[in-house]
Structures are given as structure tokens and as C-alpha cells.
Amino acid sequence: MERTEILRREIRALAFDQYGTIVDMQRGLTEAVTPFLKAKGWEGNPGSFVTWWRRTHFENSMIDALIDRGHTPYRQVGHRAVSYVMDRCGIAYTQDEVHGLVSQIETLKPFPDVVPALQRLRAVGYKLAILSNGDRDMLKAAGPHIGFPFDHVISVQEAGYFKPHWKTYAKACEIMGEERTSVLFVANHAFDCIGAKAYGMRAAFIDRRKRPFGETPHQPDIVVGDVAELAGALAG
């Protein structure tokens, strides 16, 4: 409770991860791939296919940031990840089919609690932003499907690295016009919270999946079950 009071007093802005925090990526992509995989005659679990896709994408984006030889667009990393998983599953495919699956990311819907919670946070004066690994055009296309006008929608393209590289959080603070300690970064992923905390931002871990955060010196400032609970804590 004491830490929550400190956050209420000191936080001026919230920056949200988009994929998996604002929008339900696992469910949405599973719904999208299910008829595709059925038509291909693949008898595996569509949810597992999406998990493999997301894990491969995450691994490749981390490699891209670490080798530091220029930022690869999120969409291109996605195409490579889906192609890899198709190969792993023994599914014949075309690149048009790969592009079609990856484009589904742009149409994902928010979790049911998200928009009402964002409205509540805005009503009490917080500045609200997105900081996403997605490409600029992907985030713009996703806006109408989310249905909430954020003050800033920031792609890591602006920094030239994928999160959790520190430059992504620094660029977000610069664009938002806020000191790092005045920004609460909100994510469903521990790695993203760790990156924000390591840079000096505050962090909120959205523990929808009921998983431990893990042992790290960069612990979140607040852990909640969803964005509605976070709004309740910050809006009073």
C-alpha cells in the first residue's frame, strides 16, 4: 500500500507494451491460425503453433538487438518466425500465406478490461502511451481495433532496437516529455519490465498468466492481475 501511494504521487505517465498487454495476442492469433492449419491438414494444437511462433519471434528479435547491425522490421522478423514454424511442422506454404498470418497481428482486439481501465486512468490525469516492438505502420493499423486514442503510440523503430534495449525506453521518455522516474511502464512480460526498471523507469507487471516474475534485482513496483486492477490502484 505504501508503494502504491508513492506511485500515485510521483507517476505522471504510463507507457504500455501492446502485444500481450493491451491486445490478447495468444488468443487472437490462435483463432486466426486454426482454420488455416485445418485447411493444411495439420493435426497439431493451434495454440502450440502460436506459442512456437511467438517464442521464435522473441528469440530472433533479441538476436537482432544484440548483434547491433541495424534494426530489422518487426514484420520481417515475424515472417521469418512463421516460416520457421511452418518448416518445423512440415507444412507446405507460400510467402503470401506467411504474410497473411503475420498481418493478423494488426487486427488483434484488446483484453476486455483494457479500454475501461484506460478511460479511468485518463480521467484522473495520467498521460497514456504505447511503447511497442511493432513497426510504425503496424501500430497505426492496429489503432482502430484497439479503440482508444493514446497520447503517444511509439514504435521501437524510433530507437533502432527491440525492447528490452535501454534506448527504447529512453526514446519513449524523450517523446513523452517525461523524466524516467515519472513514467510507469506496464507489461505482461517480465523481460520488458526488467528492461524498463534497469533504465530507471517504474514498472507494473500485469500477471494475467499467474506466473512468477523471477529472481532479478529489477523487480516491478507493482504486480496486478490485469489493467483494471492497475487502474483501481492508481486512480484511487
3-class SS shares of the chain: helix, strand, coil, % to 5: 55, 15, 30
Amino acid 2: pLDDT: 64
Average pLDDT (153-177) is 98
**Predicted local distance difference test score (pLDDT) of residue 236:** 74
Considering the segment(s) 2-24+109-235 as one domain, its CATH architecture is: 3-Layer(aba) Sandwich (3.40)
Q: pLDDT (tens digit, 9 = 90+) per residue, 217-227?
A: 999 999 999 99
The CATH number of the domain covering residues in 25-107: 1.10.150
Pick the range with the lowest mean pLDDT from 2-11, 97-106, 165-174.
2-11
Q: At what angle do helices 95-103 and 74-89 cross, to 10 degrees?
A: 120
In the Cβ-directed half-sphere of 96, how many Cα atoms lie within 13 Å? 0
Q: What is the tens place of the pLDDT at every residue in 186-198?
A: 999 999 999 999 9
User: What are the domain boundaries of the chain?
Assistant: 2-24+109-235, 25-107
Sheet arrangement for strand 222-224: 152-155, 127-132, 13-16, 183-187, 202-206, 222-224
Residue 97 identity: E
Residue 140 has a CB neighbour count (10 Å cut-off) of 13
**pLDDT, tens digit, 9 for 90 and up, residues 15-66:** 999 999 999 999 999 999 999 999 999 999 999 999 999 999 999 999 999 9
Q: Tell me which H or E stretch contains 171.
A: helix 166-176
As a whole number, the mean pLDDT across the chain is: 97
Q: Take residue 29 and report the three cell numbers written for it.
A: 492469433
Q: Using 50, 70 and 90 to split pLDDT, how confident is the model at 3?
A: confident
